[in-house]
Amino acid sequence: MPTEIIKRRELKVIRDSSYDLSVARHELQLAAEFPERRVNSLYFDDINYTDMNNNVAGIGSRKKQRLRWYGETAPDALHKAQYATWEIKSRDGLMSSKATEKIPIRQEMPINAFQIGKLISSEHASYSFHEKLIPVLFCSYLRNYFLFSGCIRITIDRKINYAIPMCSKNIKVSRPQSDARTILELKFDVAAEDKAKELLQFLNLRPQRHSKYVRGLAMHGICQYF
């Protein structure tokens, strides 16, 4: 499958679990872009947590790497999914980019978390999966999608859970940690930046730094993060 690269601006807002966009959705005439669905991500890093440390330090040029799939398929049943998506999400100053590629699964047997690298670097993937990468965090949440003015995607992530992958015959995880936060995110081309800022002002919201990857690791005591 050809690689898709998306470049855009992203603004995130942290709210609590009670946040409700329904009133603003009516006033702004927000259209639901997709039905609500569960997003599952298995994040990878090296043994020194280089990507995590770069994020915590606020390094301007940084990345995170993950395997993502959708639906209620649990990590230990990933082999039942038709495909997952290998993603390398990069940040360079204010701009974000995401390179994605679909990875066929179709495995008859459960997949060990530490064998996924072979799957990603198979003949189906143009990206070379670095042999030093290991799975370090599983993240799962419900996501709603909206479109404003035809050019700004708004996503709302809630019921977020984090767990640590464990080495076993399949992808087992530790007891999940539940996050009370709701994350609202605006995604748009640079040309729509002024409109996005006006939208945040109308909603009385202020953008903040936030990384689910680092937040999940912090909730398991691996780093310090707000």
The structural domains of the chain, with segments of one domain joined by +, span: 4-219
The distance from CA 99 to its chain's CA centroid, rounded to whole angstroms, is: 13
- What pLDDT score was predicted for residue 210? 94
Spell out the residues 6+ positions from residue 51 whose beta carbon is closer than 8 angstroms to its own.
45, 62, 63, 64, 65, 213
The pair of structure tokens assigned to 91 is 């940040």
In the block, tokens 């809630």 appear at 158
- What pLDDT score was predicted for residue 127? 52
With a cut of 50, which residues of the chain have pLDDT below it? Answer: 1-2, 123-125
- The CATH class for the domain spanning 4-219 reads alpha beta
Which of 123, 192, 154 has the alpha carbon at shortest distance from 24?
154
Alpha carbons 22 and 30: distance in angstroms, whole number: 9
Type of residue at 178: S
DSSP 3-state assignment of 81?
A: coil
- What pLDDT score was predicted for residue 123? 44
Alpha carbons 120 and 107: distance in angstroms, whole number: 13
The pair of structure tokens assigned to 106 is 């179709």
Strand blocks (E) in 78-173: 83-92, 95-104, 134-148, 152-163, 165-166, 172-173
Report, in angstroms and rounded to the nearest whole number, the Rg of the chain calculated over CA atoms: 18
Alpha carbons 202 and 204: distance in angstroms, whole number: 5
Beta bridge partners of 98: 6, 89
- What pLDDT score was predicted for residue 212? 96
User: Which DSSP helix (H) or strand (E) runs through 89?
Assistant: strand 83-92
User: Which DSSP helix (H) or strand (E) runs through 22?
Assistant: helix 22-28
- What pLDDT score was predicted for residue 124? 46
Is the pTM higher than 0.85? yes
